[in-house]
Amino acid sequence: MCTRFGSSIGFVYALGLLLTPQATCHSHSHSHTTARIGQCPLHIPAELQSQTSLGCPHLVDGDIAHQPIDWSPWTHAPECVHARKSPGTKYCVFTNSRHGNGGVSIVTTPEIAADSIEILNDSGDSHMKSVANNSAGAAFEVVDIPGKGKGVVATRRIKRAEAILADWASLVVHLDFPTSVKRAQGYHHLHRAVDQLSDPDRVLELAHSSTFSNDIVEDVLRTNAFSYPLGGESHMALYPEVSRVNHACRPNAFIRFTPASLAVSVVVSRDIEPGEEITITYVPLGKTREERQEALLKWGFSCTCDLCTASKAEVAASDYRRTKIQKMRQEVMKAVEAWDGTKAVKLTLEVLELMRDEDLAPLYASQYEIIARLYWKAKDRKTGTKYAQMSIDTLVDQGYLESSPQTLPRMLESFDG
């Protein structure tokens, strides 16, 4: 199943953030890692004290859950099905109908559900407060857009780095689930997952345009879901409000994710004027026109954004620069492997200039980070720190990070890891 996905900048993981300006597609086939239940913590953080009555996470499935106390904090008894080719693997529907906005249902293994139970403690404040505290009023409205169905259009001037929308996942499904169970069983469990939400229409009323689906929930997932890591394994996550935002190959907004949270927010990457459509990208930034169009066929449409409908000469020039960026980034890796730091830095700076020509602003910070790491490894701490700060400043300026005095030390510490 092809789903939207954000690939993050490497060091951001060390900062405790997963921030994603772009998208990619994953197939059903991927390496399977065994989830395990985390050790019960001896010291529960103060902000989680209200949940300590839940005790240490324990496995819950349809065989051992007989009364509400058995399946708490889930609000419904889990219903499970065995995988066809691996009878020892179960997939269950875990629902908390009070979480987030309208509840969440997670279709995954009992092991992953137990290992990830603390995700229900997250309040989503880092996303919700940035939107709720905005005194400028509503920034957009959902309208009909010719040739696109529904879309999101600005109702006022929106400043760069402003968060305009926050949302919670309503449905999270293990990426292996659809191909691991019989089709009828899969549809039954997907229907149960949606029906147990406090507001099933948030899912059922979304657009569904996949030509590969035979069921409405499967179709909605294929059309709208993002890839989401849970318990160390790939899942699909559906954010109903975010799903209204259409694609553009040169988008003016991005989705901000954080780990251990089912909440996300949409942040604009440049100033937007009233009446302008707000867009994100469904495919990785930096691809050529042909690569983008081929990837977008999985969503059943051909892109007609300004970049894709430019003149032949403009498209050819753009594709040339993007192809050169891809090749030069590979050359950077080869130079690093050959311990040729001088060449690696020179190539990385050239890549940065090409990215500026292509207005690939969300990728600038990663290039600064690469340069910072190269100088840091070469023991030039002063220059390495300079480029590390430039990377952070870029992320703050674009709205990916909030300014914090701890960010630079944590980033530099990650260089030694």
Which of 27, 24, 3, 25 shows the shortest CA–CA distance to 284?
A: 24
Residue 32's pLDDT is: 32
Q: Are strands 233-238 and 246-247 parallel, antiparallel or unpaired?
A: unpaired
Look at residue 148 in the predicted model and tell me its pLDDT. Answer: 83
Please state the rounded mean pLDDT for residues 350-357.
Answer: 94
Please tell me whether residue 155 adopts helix, strand or coil conformation.
coil
State yes or no: pLDDT of 388 exceeds 60. Answer: yes
What is the arithmetic mean of pLDDT over 380-389? 95
The answer on pLDDT for 286 being more than 80 is yes
If pLDDT is split at 50, 70 and 90, which confidence band does 210 have? low
pLDDT for position 65: 61
Q: Residue 380 pLDDT more than 90?
A: yes
Tens digits of residue pLDDT in 302-349: 889 999 999 999 999 999 999 999 999 999 999 989 989 899 999 999
Which comes out higher in pLDDT, residue 172 or 160? 172
In this prediction, what percent of the chain has a pLDDT beyond 90? Answer: 56
- Residue 44: the pLDDT is 37
- Whether the pLDDT of residue 16 is over 50: the answer is no
Question: How many other CB atoms are there within 10 angstroms of residue 146's CB atom?
Answer: 6
Q: For residue 203, what pLDDT is reported?
A: 95
What stretches of 248-311 show up as alpha helix (H) in DSSP?
A: 289-296
**How confident is the model at residue 1, as a pLDDT?**
40
Q: What is the pTM of this model?
A: 0.78
Residue 20: band (very low, low, confident or very high) from pLDDT cuts 50, 70, 90: very low
Pick from 374, 62, 120, 71: nearest CA to 260: 120
Please give the pLDDT value at position 86.
87
Residue bearing the bigger pLDDT, 74 or 58 = 74
pLDDT score recorded for residue 58: 62
The pLDDT of residue 399 is: 75
Residue 364 has pLDDT above 50, yes or no: yes
Greatest mean pLDDT range, 14-23, 66-75, 402-411: 402-411
135 vs 127: which has the higher pLDDT: 127
| Digit-coded pLDDT (tens) for 74-103 | 999 999 999 998 888 999 999 999 999 999
Q: What is the pLDDT of residue 64?
A: 66
pLDDT (average), residues 106-113: 95
CA-to-CA distance for 278 and 250, rounded, in angstroms? 11
Q: Mean pLDDT in the chain?
A: 83
Q: Which residue has the higher pLDDT, 357 or 10?
A: 357
Q: How confident is the model at residue 39 (pLDDT cuts 50, 70, 90)?
A: very low
Report the range of poorest mean pLDDT among 99-103, 108-112, 296-300, 403-407. Answer: 296-300
Whole-number pLDDT of residue 169: 95
**Does the pLDDT value for residue 37 go beyond 50?**
no
Query: Could you give the CA distance from residue 286 to residue 333 in angstroms, rounded to a whole number?
Result: 17
What's residue 300's pLDDT? 74
Does 155 score more than 70 pLDDT? yes
Report the distance separating Cα 224 and Cα 281, nearest Å: 12
Would you state the pLDDT for residue 38? 34
Tokens of 376: 């840091």
Three-state DSSP class for residue 222:
helix
Mean pLDDT of 245-268: 89
With a CB cutoff of 8 Å and minimum separation 6, the contacts of 311 are none
